[in-house]
Structure 1
Amino acid sequence: MDYLTFFLAILHVYRALCEEMFWDTTVKLAENMSLECIYSSLDTLTQMEWFKINTTSRELIAIFSPIYGGVVKQPYTYRVYLLNSTAAPNDMTLYFHNASEADIGFYSCFLHTFPHGHWEKVIQVVASDSFEIAAPSNRHIVSEPGKNVTLTCQPAGKWPVQQVTWEKIQPHQIDILTICNLSQGKSYASKYQREIWSSCSQDMRSTFIIMPHVMASDSGLYRCCFKASTGDNETFVMRLTVTDGKTDNRYILFVAGGAVLLLLFVILITTIIVISYKRRRRQKELFKESWGAQNKAGNNYRNPNPTNQTSDGATEDVYVNYPAFSHRPKTRI
């Protein structure tokens, strides 16, 4: 009987080593980082624990009780804080100060609630160079607050789809929204802090998620990943922008101001062109009037004597008509 117990213990350890770890959120390692854990249900929290998941065991980091408060265990004292636990009963976010590569790994936010029992969120912390950067978005969706937003995508390939994953991408973390295993027809309900509706069936060729009553905090990049049984993968990235009233007013004022400035600029350019054209036309008219007056004055002061002379240089006789006088001397008395 002792051999059977030992064998079962070995089998349990082997399963723990070989079993693939599944996580809800991937966080990029930073000196000051936060592991977000927000419980969205209305259940009553009785106790919460933070663990670091090792290969065969779980290392207790912190424990919190709404009645007795929180305690941080060694060696995490003075490096780890539960800042929001007292202000918001459903916010059990863990804050790291002076984090290092030794903090890379998997973490578990484990909640005991009433009446639904326990709730767990697993977070993976990776090195900054291993953090996946999102590709440029393929589509942009704009919505007003309070609307239901539907994001859809469909693979271009004809290969059989085995798994579909929806994620929200942020600069410091990636949250899994939903996972659909088409081969089994099962979907995984994520631990994301807001409500997500999704579809999952074995025969579907496209997938969608619905976010009811969106808010400005829902803005960001969303990624849809298709994984085929043949090993092929296909990814779509889309950006969602949820506007608010202030943004709309600023945008309207910006557009209206731009239109007014453009109109004033057009009026100014048109006025300058018209004034310049009239000025050139007036100068042309004054030049014509001045030129005409100069020609008229030249005609009035022209020399009256004829300038034409005989070409052969011969002179003509000039005759003067005067009375004839007597040449007889006067008699003296």
Structure 2
Amino acid sequence: MDYLTFFLAILHVYRALCEEMFWDTTVKLAENMSLQCIYSSLDTLTQMEWFKINTTSRELIAIFSPIYGGVVKQPYTYRVYLLNSTAAPNDMTLYFHNASEADIGFYSCFLHTFPHGHWEKVIQVVASDSFEIAAPSNRHIVSEPGKNVTLTCQPAGKWPVQQVTWEKIQPHQIDILTICNLSQGKSYASKYQREIWSSCSQDMRSTFIIMPHVTASDSGLYRCCFKASTGDSETFVMRLTVTNGKTDNQYILFVAGGAVLLLLLVILITTIIAGNNYRNPNPTNQSSDGATEDVYVNYPAFSHRPKTRI
């Protein structure tokens, strides 16, 4: 029995070493950084733990209970903290002070919920020079707040697509929105903080994601990546801008005000021209023989001014 237990332990370690780590978010290392973990479900949170994932074990960083509160373990005490859970009960973001290269690695935000059980988000922290920079966007989409926005892309290559990945790119982090394995027709359930609808079916030639009821916080760069079993890949980047209602109202008021000022200017010019024509309806007098006589205009209100010849 002891030999069997030892063998299973060795097998577990071997699988941990060989298994490829999968993560939901990539964060660029910074002295003051945050590992975002927002649980979007309406389930009741019973307990939460933050771990740093090592090669063969998990190092407990912090633990939180809605009843008993939170505790940060050594050596992370005074270096990390959680938000006030009473103000944001679904936000379990972990904040770092004075982070260093020793903090590079994988982290797990592990939640125990009722009635659906556990929920986990894995975050990878990478060095600044290893953080991937997005390419310039291929397309720009503009939407009003509250609309349902659909982002689509299709590969130009004719090779069979094996996997499609959608990501949101920010200066400090990259979030995976959805992953579709076309060979199995299965998609990965995103740990992203907002609801995302996507398509995933075998032999599909294009892909899309739908973001219902967008807000200004949804603005940014989105990337879809196609990968084939042959090793070929193709990437598309698009920018989404969700306009701000206040900005739109200010723009409308600016345009309306400009139109009113232009109308007033036209009325003023028309009034001046009409007044000049009324004061001097016949600028010249002609004699009976057709000769033109000079006309002089008097200024009764300013008797000291000389007569002006027109």
Length-normalised TM-score, structure 1: 0.77
Retained in 2: the 8 A contact 1:178–1:187?
A: yes
Deviation, 1:255, is: 5.1
Question: What's the counterpart of residue 308 of structure 1?
Answer: 285
Cα offset for 1:146?
Answer: 1.1
3-state SS of the aligned residue for 1:300? Answer: helix
* Superposition map of 1:177-188 within 5 A: 177-188=177-188
Aligned to 2:269: 269
Q: In 2 relative to 1, CA 320–8 (structure 1 residues): closer, same or farther, beyond 3 Å?
A: closer
Structure with the higher helix share, 1 or 2: 1
User: Unpaired runs of 5+ in structure 2?
Assistant: none
Partners of 1:109 and 1:120 within 8 A in 2: yes
Does the C-alpha gap of structure 1 residues 8 and 123 become closer, same or farther in structure 2, counting only changes over 3 Å?
A: same
Larger Cα Rg: Structure 1 or Structure 2?
1
Of 297, 307, 319, which residue of structure 1 is paired with 2:296? 319
Q: CA distance change for structure 1 residues 18 and 247 in 2, over 3 Å: closer, same or farther?
A: same
Moved more, 252-261 or 242-251: 252-261
Task: Decide whether the 8 Å contact of 2:136 with 2:237 is kept in 1.
Answer: yes
Partner Cα separation in structure 1 for residue 303 and residue 72 of structure 2: 163
Q: Which whole-Å deviations, capped at 9, do the CAs of 1:260-315 have from their partners, x for residues lacking one?
A: 89999999999999xxxxxxxxxxxxxxxxxxxxxxx9999999999999999999
Task: Report the 3-state secondary structure (helix = DSSP H, G, I; strand = E; otherwise coil) of the residue aligned with 1:301.
Answer: helix
Q: Is the 8 A contact 1:84 1:93 kept in 2?
A: no
Q: How far apart are 1:210 and its partner, in Å?
A: 0.5
Would the alpha carbon gap of residues 157 and 64 (structure 1) be closer, same or farther in structure 2, given more than 3 Å must change?
Answer: same
**Change over 3 Å in CA distance of 1:43–1:305 after alignment to 2:** closer
CA 1:267–1:137 in 2, change beyond 3 Å: closer, same or farther?
farther
* Alpha-carbon distance in structure 2 between the residues aligned to 1:36 and 1:331: 83
Structure 1: 5+ residue stretches without partners = 274-296
Displacement after TM superposition at 1:10 (Å): 1.0
If the length of structure 2 is used for normalisation, what is the TM-score? 0.82
* RMSD (Å) for aligned C-alpha atoms: 17.0
Change (3 A) 1:259 1:171: farther
Match of 1:125 in 2: 125
Q: For each residue in 1:36-56, what CA deviation from the matched residue of structure 2 results, as whole angstroms up to 9, or x when unmatched? A: 000000111110000000000
Q: Is contact 1:84-1:92 (8 Å) kept?
A: no
**CA displacement, residues 59-78 of structure 1 (integer Å, 9 cap, x when unaligned):** 00000011110000000000
Cα distance in 2 for residues equivalent to 1:39 and 1:332: 88
Contact in 2 for aligned 1:49/1:109 (Cα 8 Å): yes
Q: How big is each residue's C-alpha offset from its partner over 1:235-277, in whole Å with a ceiling of 9 and x where there is no partner?
A: 000111111211212333455677889999999999999xxxx
